[in-house]
Amino acid sequence: MLVFGIDPGLTRCGVGLVRGSPGRAEFVDAGVIRTPTDLPVARRLLLLETALEDWLEKTQPEAVAVEQVFAQHNLMTVVGVAQAAGVALLVAARHGLPVASYTPSAVKAAITGSGRADKAQVGTMVCRVLRLEAAPRPADAADAVALAICHLWRGGAEARLAAAAPAVRPASWGRVVAQSKAGR
């Protein structure tokens, strides 16, 4: 599976592409989309949308993984990240791609084994997992690659569980009782 990871941001939006399956990952590409801070927000969002469209058209991924927005101390940063995440979700939906969202701690736990890992630890593990000499730069690109790896390793299992759950889970306790009585 080819997964496109997006670490949303209005000034720097990390993107990373990884191919693989659970337990196996291969680096394909990574980068950062930058928007000038002196432009109006609407124009910056349009530039981000155009750049993400270009990446998706060029790389043709099978799935997209986007980092979930989390509360920070700087409200303006949260707003910009949320707007960038919204653009990323919109672009993926326009392409008909399945989208998964992961919290920063879930990505860190998937890559390093600890949800409290710092950026250096995430970068080190991205290098080890992908057998790279150096982590993609800047850190936003490495974070996007980590998101893609996280989806490769966790997304497939989560999708299979979600698909299987309705088949396994009865619609109500009444049906459980009725099925158990019928089975006697």
Domain segments of the chain as ranges: 2-182
Q: Scan for tokens 């993926």, then name that residue.
A: 92
Res 65: pLDDT:
98
3-state secondary structure of 104: helix
Q: Which of 133, 140, 143, 158 is catalytic?
A: 140
Whether 67 is a known active-site residue: answer: yes
- Beta-strand relationship, 99-102 and 63-67: parallel
Summarised one tens digit per residue, pLDDT across range 128-145 is 999 999 999 999 999 999
> pTM to 2 decimals?
0.84
CA distance 177 to 63: 40
CB 27 within 8 A of CB 130: yes
Q: Which of 38, 53, 67, 158 is catalytic?
A: 67
With both helix axes pointing from N to C terminus, report the angle between 75-94 and 41-59 in degrees, rounded to the nearest 10: 40
pLDDT confidence tier of residue 87, bands split at 50, 70 and 90: very high
Whether 140 is a known active-site residue: answer: yes
Summarised one tens digit per residue, pLDDT across range 145-155 is 999 999 999 87
Q: Which residues contact 175 (CB under 8 A, 6 or more apart)?
A: none
* One-letter amino acid for residue 93 of the chain: A
Better-predicted residue by pLDDT, 129 or 168: 129
Whether 7 is a known active-site residue: answer: yes
Summarised one tens digit per residue, pLDDT across range 23-68 is 899 999 999 999 999 999 999 999 999 999 999 999 999 999 999 9
Is residue 163 predicted with pLDDT exceeding 70?
no
Is residue 18 predicted with pLDDT exceeding 70?
yes
Res 172: pLDDT:
63
CA-wise closest residue to 25 among 98, 137, 132: 132
The two structure tokens encoding residue 40: 């109006």
Task: Tell me which H or E stretch contains 39.
Answer: none
Q: Structurally, what CATH architecture does the domain formed by 2-182 represent?
A: 2-Layer Sandwich (3.30)
